[in-house]
Amino acid sequence: MFGNIELFRLSQAMATHASTRLGVIAQNVANADTPGYRGQDTVAFTPDLDRAQASAFMRQTRHGHISSLSRNSQVLASQDTELSPNGNSVSVEKELLKAAQVQSQHDRALAVYKSAMTILRTSIGRR
């Protein structure tokens, strides 16, 4: 029922992206001492509303089909050029800052969802 409302879909995509990015950050921190490990990050979340409206009539039936629907969760190798002596590119301090930003993005997505639910409940006369 609520899957057809674009605002709910957008907040779910924001929360999913934040969750994916936090997983990548956790993997980076876990490999902070691994020799030669290159840090990774995800593509920045960009709400493409025109594409989202067009995709309202399309569904992804299998992985890789209509790849633009899942492009916000792509994992890319980090472009950091600063390497430690063992060839590792992960800075734990930078990763912790990213984690705090991701937590803020996830909280924002939940706030959008809760506000939309409050508006929806108010419009049908429930509290």
* Cα within 13 Å of Cα(75), Cβ side: 13
Phi/psi of residue 77, each to 5°? -70, 140
Buried b (16+ CB within 10 A) or exposed e, 47-68: eeeeeeeeeeeeeeeeeeeeee
Per-residue pLDDT of the chain (127 residues; tens, 9 = 90+): 555 788 888 899 999 999 999 999 999 999 988 898 888 888 888 876 555 455 555 566 666 655 444 444 577 766 556 788 888 888 899 999 999 999 999 999 999 999 999 988 898 887 6
Question: pTM of the entire structure?
Answer: 0.71
**Total number of domains in the chain:** 1
The whole-angstrom separation of Cα 5 and Cα 13 is 13
- Write phi, then psi, for 117 (nearest 5 degrees): -65, -40
Q: Domain of residue 58: give its range.
A: 2-123
Place of tokens 């674009």: 6
Spell out the residues 6+ positions from residue 102 whose beta carbon is closer than 8 angstroms to its own. Answer: 18, 21, 22, 25
Question: Phi-psi region for residue 87, left (φ > 0), alpha (ψ -120 to 50) or beta?
Answer: left
pLDDT at position 70, please?
44
pLDDT at residue 83 in the model: 80
